């Protein structure tokens, strides 16, 4: 036979009466009438099946059974307070964790300014950023709050309560060593580049996929003989004279140390970053506030 579980309201009433020793004082503390407090005590007594208190003058005292229930009632009250405190702290972002996964380019060149802004506003929230991700199949997607993807980066197995949306658009530029013949040209065409040795990012790179897409639009299938992993390796390879490379304008603005020059390619070539986030009903306070930081209108 199942034993009925008393509500927190009944246990809180029992605890207040026990600590102040008076139904009238408990009624004042709980902002209830004395009959309402007495009725709650009677219901609790019926639930446990044994007397919990007895009257002494104008007050009450606990029976031995009542004393036995006092300690667990206090623990439940403490848990309720802990719960309420946590809700309040999370609403005010005084605690919490934000886990972000992104590709190397996004983590190094696009996200830092937003993370700094968020950190300044909410210093007590723990930030975890995993960059350099190229193969999403190796990660448990449910372990992360937000994902930042490059256009052309395949991603399967997205949790059903997540949605992808365009976040930022950038331009892809061609880069070449200083002193290269292309420095005489104000802009470059893909046909100009097809005859040159090209330095490519790794297979999973969204920039690589976007450039290949543009080449194929004009019927060219470029050869891939030089491949590097990451933005930094691209800059080093191009500066050393291995060939012509491709990089976003935002990333290039951060690399004044590279001995390279850049030119616009084609119309130009634009490249989109995507944000994958929980749909609105599933967002924590932390996620919602960070998304506000990403909104240029706020």
- pLDDT tens digit string along 62-113? 999 999 999 999 998 888 888 888 888 788 777 889 999 998 889 999 999 9
Q: Is 3 part of a structural domain of the chain? A: no
Tell me: do 281 and 244 sit in the same domain: no
Tell me: do 76 and 134 sit in the same domain: no
* Global confidence as pTM: 0.75
Cα separations in angstroms, 20 against 29, 39, 51, 63: 9, 17, 18, 15
Tell me: do 33 and 52 sit in the same domain: yes
223/194 Cα distance (integer angstroms): 8
Q: What is the pLDDT of residues 235-255, one digit of tens each?
A: 999 999 999 999 999 999 999
Name the token pair of 134: 């190229």
Domain count, the chain: 3
Q: What percent of the chain has pLDDT over 90?
A: 67
- Indicate if the pLDDT at residue 169 is higher than 80: yes
The domain boundary, picked from 62, 91, 120, lies at: 91
First-to-last C-alpha distance (Å) of the chain: 58
């Amino acid at each position: 036979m199942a034993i009925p579980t008393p509500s927190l309201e009944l246990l809180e009433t029992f605890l207040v009466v026990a600590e102040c020793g008076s139904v009238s004082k408990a009624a004042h503390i709980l902002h209830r009438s004395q009959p309402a407090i007495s009725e709650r005590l009677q219901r609790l007594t019926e639930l446990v099946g044994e007397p919990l208190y007895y009257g002494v003058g104008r007050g009450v005292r606990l029976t031995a059974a009542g004393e036995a229930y006092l300690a667990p009632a206090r623990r439940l009250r403490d848990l309720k307070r802990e719960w309420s405190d946590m809700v309040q702290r999370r609403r005010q972002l005084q605690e919490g964790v934000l886990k972000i996964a992104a590709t190397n380019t996004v983590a190094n060149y696009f996200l830092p300014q937003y993370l700094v802004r968020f950190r300044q506003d909410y210093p007590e929230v723990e930030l975890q950023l995993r960059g350099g991700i190229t193969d999403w199949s190796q990660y448990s997607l449910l372990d992360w709050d937000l994902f930042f993807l490059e256009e052309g980066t395949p991603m399967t197995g997205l949790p059903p309560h997540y949605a992808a949306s365009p976040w930022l658009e950038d331009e892809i530029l061609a880069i070449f060593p200083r002193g290269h013949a292309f420095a005489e040209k104000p802009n470059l065409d893909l046909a100009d580049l097809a005859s040159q040795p090209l330095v490519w990012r790794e297979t999973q790179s969204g920039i690589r996929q976007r450039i290949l897409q543009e080449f194929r639009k004009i019927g060219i299938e470029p050869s891939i003989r030089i491949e590097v992993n990451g933005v930094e390796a691209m800059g080093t390879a191009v500066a050393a004279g291995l060939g012509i490379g491709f990089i976003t304008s935002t990333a290039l603005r951060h690399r004044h140390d590279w001995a390279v020059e850049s030119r616009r390619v084609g119309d130009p070539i634009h490249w989109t970053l995507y944000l994958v986030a929980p749909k609105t009903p599933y967002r924590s306070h932390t996620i919602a506030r960070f998304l506000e930081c990403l909104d240029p209108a706020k």
